[in-house]
A and B are shown apart, each in its own frame.
Chain A
Amino acid sequence: MKSIILIAGSRLLVALLTVFSVYMLLRGHNEPGGGFIGGLLAAVGFVIFAIACGTEDARKALRFRPASIAAVGLGMALFAGLMAAIWSDAFFTGQWLFINATPEDKGIPLSSVLIFDIGVYLVVLGSVLTIVFALEEEV
């Protein structure tokens, strides 16, 4: 099913959905969103792309094998948990760093929790795409 309209539209949608997914991922700590939702959004984008242009193009656009992305994500999540050990805290205790913090403002918050959420994002994205690509190529 090759449709010019779908192909042209999907390019736009992939870009928008991917950017939006990162936005959802980053804002997740304070507003609706997070790694799970972000990962699903990004996956939806690539699924649409795969339906429009075929999985071969979608794989190229993704650059890495989806299973590898998922594995890296799981590794990041584990790493985020293990980081706590450096400060002799229990496994998965969140570690925070506030850049340019003032008493009123927290500045730019960086945390092991964010790394964990990025890991979740990658696992969800990679796993869903692993399944979808395999299914589409099979059928």
Chain B
Amino acid sequence: MASTSSKTWVTPAGIIPVIIAGALFVLLLQALPAVANGDVLRYVWPWVPSLGVNISFVIDGLALMFGLLITGIGALVMLYSAKYLAGHPQQARFSLYLTSFMLAMLGVVLADNLLALFVFWELTTITSYLLIGFNHDSAKSRRSALQALLVTGTGGLALLAGIVLIGNVAGTFELSEIRAMPGVLTQSVFYLPILILVLLAAFTKSAQMPFHFWLPNAMAAPTPVSAYLHSATMVKAGIYLMARTHPSLAGTDVWLWTLTIAGAATMVFASVMALRQTDLKQALAYTTLMALGALTLLLANSSGYAITAAVVFLLMHSFYKAALFLVVGILDHQTGTRETTKLYGLGRAMPVTAFAAVLAGLSMAGLPPFLGFIAKELSYAGGVEAASSPWLVAGAFLIANALMFAIAAIVGYRPFFSKAGKKLENVTEAKWPMLAGPLVLAMLGAFFGIFPYWLQNSLIHPTVASILGSTVDAKDLHLWAGFNLPLVLSLATFALGFVLYAFSTPLRAMLIRIIDNGPNFDRGWDKLLAAVLAFAKWQTRVIQTGQLRFYIMATFITALVAMAGTMAIKQALVLPIVWTPVSLTDGMVFGLVITGTGLAIWTQSRITAIAGLGVVGIGIAMIFILYSAPDVAITQLLVETLIVVLFAVAALRLPSLGSEPLSKRWLDAAVAIGLGVTVTLIMLMVTAGPIDRSLSDFFEAASYPDAFGQNIVNVILVDFRALDTFGEVAVVLVAAIGVFALLRSKPEKDEA
């Protein structure tokens, strides 16, 4: 891998995304002073006004923080991947996917209309699918991509259903208007369904248990993607959704306990799993899961400490986790391995990488004076006053944070400074485009840790205000908050974490033995997928017999049962039939149709049967003529002619009809007579009632003055209902292409 670095990285495909991301970052940064002041910026364009769908964007604290993370980290990651993928044959495709993802994600966090949010949400799912499957010649990548798509896509569908419910209950799809009506959702009878659907979307997207299994697999994507999508941004879309809907949905026991349990379980499970991994990227993937669990756990509460902690935690996690992912990518790029058991003593060869890794690792470990320390103190403070169970929440945080401490050391310290293993030789430092990202992000964690005040007023407090409604409960950020319970818990974390790191190797061996023999979600997923496919196969075998006769029979029986059943249940059968004398012409046409029908039924020759059907068709055309509908009659005649010709051409090659067993024909006769009688009865009842002529009158009156045509049928076809006609002719063409393809794709000789 190291040899590719000779290629230039300054290519349009590499640079354009960086420029786009950078420009958007600067653009968003200009909103910072207004947002810091407590203003909310709103931009609205009508999209489908008749459905109440607007393209509306809101920039408040929450949106701005996410927006800055997305564009800022985006710019750094894109700069990094310009170098990481330099010379890759599909670099342009990669850049396109990554840029599309960035714009979609930006749409999610800025959208104020729930339906627009949904569209962007799905776009992030699709771009994520494309990016995970970027190495599409690897079966593992394809499987991971599909898994992520199906899991998050399911959540997306749930979100759509939830949004529709919210729109019905609140009467609007604008988030800002829904937030302005406190209790409109929580006191609705639909609260529980809405909550379940929205949380399903959030939990699948943010990989909460039991939907967590797709995220570690998503690491099949190139490392910049893992850093960007599956750590810093996309997986936080679920967190964003929970934070965004917090004012409207939180505050109930269901919300509190669901989020607490899912968050705590994910957090503890993920941090244990992280220690088990030997692949550094996999270890980081599980720590991301841990962070998502922690954020869910914090968002369960409505207290100032918990929400402030969630915001700070989110910010600092994006900093250090993206930095560490990029560091692991550098290690992979420069040495060719990500195994913790092989990487030792690289500090001297890669001083800049090591510096960034140590800074990010210290923030992750939660040591002062880094932002990670502040976040950890705040989460302990939020935990001990949790409304659910302080012991549970603080205890879960203690375990998870101690494990984070150990893993931070494994990722940020061991590959560079540990002398426990063989030192790797002939390793060179990466080039600056790859170093810029981790370095900037790691230093931000340190900078904001030492100077939290500026961050607090510009971003943290406005974001807390977006979630809680005001800055009244927002807590201040301090490195030294006095000697209190959170500090004691922090010290306990460090001690426990240090012990865990010291014994990490034997612990890992033990975990591998336990975990690999336990239940496995990933294998369960495979079983589920196989079961769905087996069901689909069974159902296709039963329903799709491939016999036209079966399909027609099924269609007719369904129609018969639906119509006759409805008539019976509704007791709609009335027979106000007035017998009028039948004219001679009517009688002759009737005789013609009956004769044609009889011929088609009794003959054994296909050609005769087709000619019989043609007679029926011509009889019907004559009825149209008698009742002055010449256009319909002409069309009917021509179509009838063509059908006879088409059938005749095909029938030449088909065997004679032969005589069928009587039992089969009895069923045919029963269905045919039943359907015929039912439809006739319905027609008689419909025509007995007064006919609504408002449409006919309108077309008669408007046809000439408005559309300059005297043939109403044609004017309707080409003018009033032109869109319908357009759809119909498109269907005609598609059908023709379908027939053509069917006829031309001959089966193999041995199958035929």
Contact = CB atoms under 8 A, between A and B. Distances in A.
Contact of A92 (B634, B642, B723): B723
Contacts of A119: 729
Interface string B729-742: 11011011101100
Given A37-B631, A130-B740, A94 B642 contact: no
Contacts of A13: none
Contact of A70 (B650, B726, B733): B733
B544 interface: no
A24 B653 CA distance: 35
A22 to B, nearest CB: 15
A81 B726 contact: yes
B507 interface: no
A106 B744 CA distance: 50
Nearest to B653: A139
B736 A44 contact: no
A97 to B, nearest CB: 11
A130 B711 contact: no
A6 interface: no
Contact of A73 (B631, B641, B729, B740): B729
Contacts of B653: 139
Contacts of A58: none
B711 A40 contact: no
Given A36-B635, A120-B718, A130-B736, A92 B709 contact: no
A123 B709 contact: no
Contacts of B730: 74, 123
A53 interface: no
B11 interface: no
A40 B739 contact: no
Contacts, number: 144
A65 to B, nearest CB: 10
Contacts of B649: 51, 132, 135-136, 139
Contact of B708 (A28, A29, A77, A78): A29
Nearest to A130: B736
Contact of A96 (B708, B723, B729): B708
Contacts of B709: 29-30, 113
Contacts of B739: 130-131, 134-135
Contacts of B645: 44, 47, 51, 132
A91 to B, nearest CB: 7
Contacts of A78: 726
A139 B650 contact: yes
A106 B708 contact: yes
A81 B723 CA distance: 8
**Category for how many chain B residues contact A:** 35 or more
A66 to B, nearest CB: 8
Question: Which of A71, A127, A139 has most chain B Cβ within 10 Å?
Answer: A127
Contact of B740 (A43, A67, A80): A67
Chain B's interface: helix, strand, loop or mixed, by majority?
helix
B714 A94 contact: no
Contacts of A73: 729, 733
A111 B708 contact: yes
Interface in A114-136: 116-117, 119-120, 123-124, 126-128, 130-132, 134-136
B630 interface: yes
A104 interface: no
A5 B732 CA distance: 34
B649 to A, nearest CB: 5
A43 B710 contact: no
A41 B653 CA distance: 26
Interface string B52-90: 000000000000000000000000000000000000000
Contacts of B729: 73-74, 77, 119-120, 123-124
B559 interface: no
A-side interface size class: 35 or more
A25 B652 CA distance: 33
A118 B527 CA distance: 55
A109 interface: yes
A135 B714 contact: no
B743 A37 contact: no
B436 interface: no
Contacts of B635: 36-37, 40
Interface string B667-678: 000000000000
Contacts of B533: none
A29 B710 contact: yes
Contacts of A74: 729-730, 733
B456 to A, nearest CB: 52
Contacts of B713: 32, 34
A34 B646 contact: no
A138 B743 contact: yes
B733 A29 contact: no
A105 interface: no
Contacts of B708: 29, 96, 106, 109, 111
Nearest to A34: B714
A111 to B, nearest CB: 7
Given A67-B737, A74-B729, A116-B722, A32 B743 contact: no
Given A132-B645, A139-B650, A139-B653, A113 B719 contact: yes
B646 A132 contact: yes
Contacts of B639: 40
Interface of A: 28-37, 40-41, 43-44, 47, 51, 66-67, 70-71, 73-74, 77-78, 80-81, 91-92, 94, 96, 106, 109, 111, 113, 116-117, 119-120, 123-124, 126-128, 130-132, 134-136, 138-139
Given A28-B711, A81-B726, A130-B740, 14 more contacts: A29-B711, A34-B717, A40-B635, A40-B638, A44-B641, A66-B736, A71-B733, A74-B729, A74-B733, A123-B733, A127-B735, A132-B646, A135-B646, A139-B650
11 contacts: A33-B714, A37-B634, A66-B736, A74-B730, A81-B722, A92-B719, A92-B723, A92-B726, A124-B729, A131-B740, A138-B743
The 4 A-B residue pairs with the shortest CB-CB distance in the complex, in nearest-first order:
A127-B736, A40-B638, A32-B630, A92-B722
